[in-house]
Amino acid sequence: MEEKVLKRGQEELRKQVLETRLCTGCGACIDLCPYYRSYRGKTAVLFPCVIDEGRCFAYCPKIEVDLDELSGRLFGKPYDGNPLGSYQSITAAQAGDRLKDIAPQAGGTVSALMYFALKKGYIDGAALTDRKGLIPVPRFVTDAEDVLACSTSKYTAAPTLSAVNQAVKDGYKNIGLVGTPCQVLATALMRSNPLKADDFVDPFGLVVGLFCTWAIDFRLFEPFLAERIEISRIRKIDIPPPPSEILEVFGDNGTKLEISLDEIRAIVPNGCSYCIDMTSEFSDLSVGVMEGRPDMNTLIVRTDRGRKIVEEAEKEGYLTLSTMPEENLEHLIWAAGNKKKRGLAKAQDEGMVNTSDDETKAYLRMSVEVLGRLTA
Amino acid sequence: MSYLIDTKEGASYLVMGNEAIVRGALEAGVNVASGYPGTPSSEIIESLSTVAKERNLYVEWSVNEKVALEVAAAASFAQLRALCVMKQNGVNVASDFLLHLVGSGTRGGFVLVTCDDPGALSSVNEGESRYFARLMEIPLLEPGTFQEAKEMTKWAFELSEELRQIVVVRSVTRMSHASGNITYGKLSDVKRTAEFKFNGFVLDQDEGIVISAPVAWKHQQQQEKVKKAREIFEESPFNTYEGPKKPELLLITSSACYLYSKEAINVLGVEDRVGLLKLGTTWPLPPKLMIKHLSQADKVMVVEEVLPFLEENVKILAAERAGEIGIKTFYGKNDGTIPMTGELNPDLVIAALSTVLGIAYTPVPAEYDQTAQSSVASGAPAREQVFCPGCPHRASFFSIHNALEMDGREGFVCGDIGCYTMAIGSTGFHSLKTLHSMGSGTGVASGFGKLGQFGMNQPILAVCGDSTFYHAVIPALINAVHNKSDITLIVLDNSGTAMTGFQPHPGLDHNVLGEEVPSVDIARICEAIGARVEIRDPFDLEGTRETLNELIEDASGVKVLIMRKACALSPQRKNKKDYDVHVDETICVGEECGCGRLCTRIFGCPGLIWNEAQHKAEIDEVICVGCGVCADICPQGAIKREEVA
């Protein structure tokens, strides 16, 4: 009997991620080869590729993600379905005194961490997300000062991981990344040597994950905003921490437009509704806003190398840490657990979890016990 | 001196059919010749231009066929001899003027040469121009040999003057582009002076005004001319008969099919059974001649290309005169004996003839045929039509394709006529989704661009070449602007009418006679019409793609992107390398993840070759023209280019 080749290439990705609109435009498949391009928030396949096993498939966080394997590689234990993922500690954090004057959006913890990591050589470059007009664009910086230019929140998906792929090609060995949970999941795939290369080295020096409930589809967001404000006049967009439930758009003449999040939820990418990860569970460090405290962040330390950088940064005054209030932690666990249950239920309903059929690939794989517990 | 104007009478030359037509026109003393390039007709105007100086001719490539016919008509109105040349579908373009011209009549000898393309060897249609003769009620001549092509053209001028009507000479690809020996006659030494007379009696054909009204009267005059032509044709030496007095089968044919038929009769050895009536004057048919031959046979077969034009006309005559000639059995296209589409050849005529005559005929043993077929299929590499090495169109369509894929809204391109028509296939990344006549891409796009109110939100693009732009795009572009259609027109400006052999067009600063002339700027025309205009060098792939995406997203109306780069075969670029290009095989990853043979599998420039043994790309230095574009598409930077000093 002829042996069936299990193809894990462009065609499978196109059919099962792009055409099913699971793609969030994270950029993991971009700049590896000439066949994928990201344009205005959307991933395009330019030409068919005939390679059976491609990195595009291997790095994609929306297909064949084996959570046990990833958790084993990063944290040395199987995936247990904890709402916040695997972690060592959770604290409140904000940019330290040394960065007070240039403190960016919210607590500034992310900028502080990347600034510090670059300055001290923990990483040799950082893949961040900048903005060109309304369009978020990847930017690879090697100078700590450039970190601050990318510091504002973007609410639409950006192909930031393409900057990682380019940096790897350019020979960077300790890459830093700030990314959303889907992007961080892709980094975990990249770090796990999915194609079993002999000369594999983990290219990342520090992965900082952001908290994310969903992103906004750029291609829908632009006309959505255009109906409400002249696009060229927009200076800043912000979603204040819960329970405000609004998106604020600041114009150049001091105007402020408030849009209900219910309206925004209608233009969230389809792929976000299957996501089970609110806190970037496969990062070194995860950071989010802290409810009721716009000047503070929640900081989750997950790995040893993440912990080391946080400790050093605090010691040198780049980061200020304090105890996380108990009620905030409880609420975070509740919110993250809800997202996990909601996304998983949807994915399982649609036959996308632990699928055995060769023809249709699974989106996620996890142990039957954990799956049972999360969907009970 | 060109052999086309050798003054020695009786000299024999091996010439192309198109050159035989040229010699005929020169022997007739043609003064003015105009046309629009189109295969298989283009060599006629080109050849005439080479002898224009010596023979004091005015020769021009006109902007399109209608204008060409108008330009030539003016010469006829001024009592000169005029020739107008085009391919079959050009007659459609010229037909509106033609309809009015046949009403007004002509003065100096005026001949329209149309070169049809049965089988569409170099066309996207196999239109029949012969029907125009019947539709417009004007005489039609079809040469069956090369000598006839010359003689008929010469005579057509005389006939035209006798009738005061335009005469059509219809050639086909196998007549125009094949070669044969012809014997020269005398070159005309008549000197004509141009003068347009209009002060005579209003209805005077020679000195009145030249108009098609009063229509009923002029139409009746026109039909008198047809009657006269019919009488003249009765005695025409271009209609010949070979065969027995009372043949079993009368084979009626014309044009290149005459030679196929002759060969078929010879191969089957049925000279004593079949009579071959070759008609040179195919409309109007000379009835007496036809009746004479039809009376002699019960079975009649008509062999012609492409549609049953002759067959129908013979049948009408046979029905009208059935009392005299009796009932005939007809074989031809209508009953399926001869294919109704495509080119004919001796084999097809042999097959038809052997069926009708009940002869068992197999050209080669079945086994041999099978072996031949299978060895051709297995041995010959698949060859698609591709853009030349260094062709700007490959780069242009690479950017167009990528821009549309990145845009991701199912945008598409309405195609047009030129080398870039090949972009319906893989060489242009399957970019074109509609394709019709010259200028139609923009017209069709103009329509698509108005379908937004019915829910269409796909970006609409059109392409055209520079020559096509002047020919028929301008009205469509005006239409799109005026009607606020949201489209992006891409003008692939390669500085000449590349597909038909680099004839000059209004965008260039020289004409077919080599004279300096004002060039008409495409960008300024588009701006004046009211379109947003951008100009890019298509070899700047990323810049072109970015501009195109921006234009596609600009929903403000009509946008024009001029992709300007001379054709790789143009005088400016031919034999000039910008770069020496080579592949660094230590960097090339070939089939591996990260490339997957983009250059040889997708981009497909013939200058790039895949070394199966080494699993690396290579440059074919014999073919590479050094444009350097492949260095920009290589994802690994393995293709290196160095500027040629």
pLDDT in tens, B19-69: 999 999 999 999 999 999 999 999 999 999 999 999 999 999 999 999 999
Option in A42, A44, A49 nearest B596 (CB): A49
Instruction: Give me the phi and psi of A179, to 5 degrees please.
Output: -150, 170
Identify from A45, A51, A134 which residue to disrupt to test chain B contact, counting B C-beta atoms within 10 A and taking the largest count: A51
Length of chain A: 376
User: Which among B96, B109, B134, B87 is positioned nearest to B28, based on CA atoms?
Assistant: B109
Determine the residue type at B28: A
Option in A34, A51, A195 nearest B635 (CB): A34
What percentage of chain B reaches a pLDDT higher than 70?
100
- CA A242 → CA A266, A291, B43, B410, B560, distances in Å? 19, 6, 79, 39, 49
Q: Cβ–Cβ of A39/B408 closer than 8 Å?
A: yes
**B215-234 and B146-163 helices cross at what angle (nearest 10)?**
140
Whether B530 has its CB under 8 Å from any CB of chain A: the answer is no
CA distance A353 to A330: 28
Strands B110-116 and B32-35: unpaired
Q: What is the assigned CATH class of domain B240-357?
A: alpha beta
Q: Do domains B240-357 and B392-564 have the same CATH topology?
A: yes
Determine the residue type at A72: G
Q: Which residues pair with B386 in a beta bridge?
A: none
Burial of B377 (0-12, 13-18, 19+ CB in 10 A): exposed
CA distance B321 to B327: 10
The nearest alpha carbon in chain B to A10 belongs to: B593
Structure confidence at residue B378 (pLDDT): 82
Q: Which residue is it, tokens 């499978």?
A: A12
Average pLDDT value for residue range B570-584: 90
State the pLDDT confidence band at A1, using cuts at 50, 70 and 90: very low
Instruction: Judge whether B501 and B494 are in contact, CB under 8 Å.
Output: no
The domain spans of chain A are: 10-217+268-375, 218-265
Length of chain B: 645
Q: Cβ–Cβ of B405/A44 closer than 8 Å?
A: yes
Whether A35 has its CB under 8 Å from any CB of chain B: the answer is yes
Q: Please report the number of interchain residue pairs, chain A to chain B, with beta-carbon separation below 8 angstroms.
A: 48
- Residue B27 parent element (H or E): helix B17-27
| pLDDT, tens digit (0-9, with 9 covering 90-100), for B248-270 | 999 999 999 999 999 999 999 99
Structure tokens at B394: 């490959």
Nearest-10 Cα torsion for B84, B85, B89, B92: 0
The number of helix segments (H) and strand segments (E) in chain B equals 22, 24
Choosing among 3.40.50.970, 1.10.340.30, 3.40.50.300, 3.30.565.10, the CATH entry for B3-234 is 3.40.50.970
Option in B401, B549, B593 nearest A54 (CB): B593
Option in A37, A49, A51 nearest B406 (CB): A37
What percentage of chain A reaches a pLDDT higher than 90?
73
| pLDDT, tens digit (0-9, with 9 covering 90-100), for A28-75 | 999 999 999 999 999 999 999 999 999 999 999 999 999 999 999 999
Q: Cβ–Cβ of B405/A51 closer than 8 Å?
A: no
Radius of gyration of chain A (CA): 20
Q: Cβ–Cβ of B593/A39 closer than 8 Å?
A: no
Q: Cβ–Cβ of B408/A44 closer than 8 Å?
A: yes
Whether A201 has its CB under 8 Å from any CB of chain B: the answer is no
Structure tokens at B465: 């070449």
| pLDDT, tens digit (0-9, with 9 covering 90-100), for A191-226 | 998 888 888 889 999 999 999 998 999 999 989 999
- Chain B nearest-CA distance from A333, in A, is 38
Structure confidence at residue A3 (pLDDT): 52
Average pLDDT value for residue range A258-265: 93
Option in A46, A53, A55 nearest B402 (CB): A46
Structure tokens at A219: 């291609």
Structure confidence at residue B369 (pLDDT): 86
Option in B408, B596, B635 nearest A50 (CB): B596
Structure confidence at residue B1 (pLDDT): 83
Structure confidence at residue A237 (pLDDT): 86
Whether B644 has its CB under 8 Å from any CB of chain A: the answer is no
- Chain A nearest-CA distance from B49, in A, is 46
- Chain A nearest-CA distance from B345, in A, is 41
Cis peptide before A243 (omega within 30 of 0): yes
Structure confidence at residue B356 (pLDDT): 97
CATH of domain B392-564: 3.40.50.970
Determine the residue type at B225: K
Q: Which residue is it, tokens 């080391």?
A: A308
The nearest alpha carbon in chain A to B637 belongs to: A169
Structure confidence at residue B575 (pLDDT): 83
User: Which among B25, B68, B76 is positioned nearest to B206, based on CA atoms?
Assistant: B76
Flag the least confident range among A144-158, B202-216, B506-520: A144-158
CA distance A287 to A247: 20
With b meaning 16 or more CB within 10 Å and e meaning fewer, what string describes B163-200?
bbbbbbbbbbbbbbbeebebebbebbeeebeeeeeeee
Q: Which residue is it, tokens 């300007």?
A: B564
In the predicted structure, residue A101 carries a pLDDT above the cut 70: no
Mean pLDDT of chain A: 91
CATH 3.40.1390.10 fits B579-643, yes or no: no
- If phi > 0 it is left, if psi is from -120 to 50 it is alpha, else beta; for residue A106 that is left
Structure tokens at B424: 């319906």
Structure confidence at residue A243 (pLDDT): 75
The nearest alpha carbon in chain A to B594 belongs to: A33
Structure confidence at residue A150 (pLDDT): 81
* Chain B residues within an 8 Å CB radius of A37: 402, 405-406
Q: Cβ–Cβ of A39/B429 closer than 8 Å?
A: no
Q: Which residue is it, tokens 């664009």?
A: A137
The domain spans of chain B are: 3-234, 240-357, 392-564, 579-643
State the ipTM, two decimals. 0.93
Structure confidence at residue B67 (pLDDT): 98
- Chain A nearest-CA distance from B562, in A, is 23
Average pLDDT value for residue range B381-392: 89
Structure confidence at residue A4 (pLDDT): 55
Which B residues, 411 through 430, put their C-beta within 8 Å of a C-beta on chain A? 429
Structure confidence at residue A135 (pLDDT): 85
Q: Which residues pair with A293 in a beta bridge?
A: A290
Whether A218 has its CB under 8 Å from any CB of chain B: the answer is no
| pLDDT, tens digit (0-9, with 9 covering 90-100), for A268-319 | 999 999 999 999 999 999 999 888 888 899 999 999 999 999 999 999 999 9
CA distance A161 to A205: 14
- Residue B464 parent element (H or E): strand B460-465
In the predicted structure, residue B588 carries a pLDDT above the cut 90: yes
Whether B410 has its CB under 8 Å from any CB of chain A: the answer is no
The nearest alpha carbon in chain A to B602 belongs to: A47
Structure confidence at residue A183 (pLDDT): 97
Structure confidence at residue A359 (pLDDT): 62
| pLDDT, tens digit (0-9, with 9 covering 90-100), for B137-163 | 999 999 999 999 999 999 999 999 999
Determine the residue type at B304: E
CA distance A38 to B547: 16
Average pLDDT value for residue range B270-292: 98
In the predicted structure, residue A358 carries a pLDDT above the cut 80: no
CA distance A68 to B469: 62
Structure confidence at residue A103 (pLDDT): 56
Option in A33, A37, A40 nearest B596 (CB): A33
Whether A51 has its CB under 8 Å from any CB of chain B: the answer is yes
CA distance A188 to A59: 8
* Chain A residues within an 8 Å CB radius of B429: 47
In the predicted structure, residue A173 carries a pLDDT above the cut 80: yes
* Chain B residues within an 8 Å CB radius of A44: 405-408
What predicted TM-score, i.e. pTM, was given to this entire model?
A: 0.94
User: Which among B276, B249, B262, B252 is positioned nearest to B358, based on CA atoms?
Assistant: B249
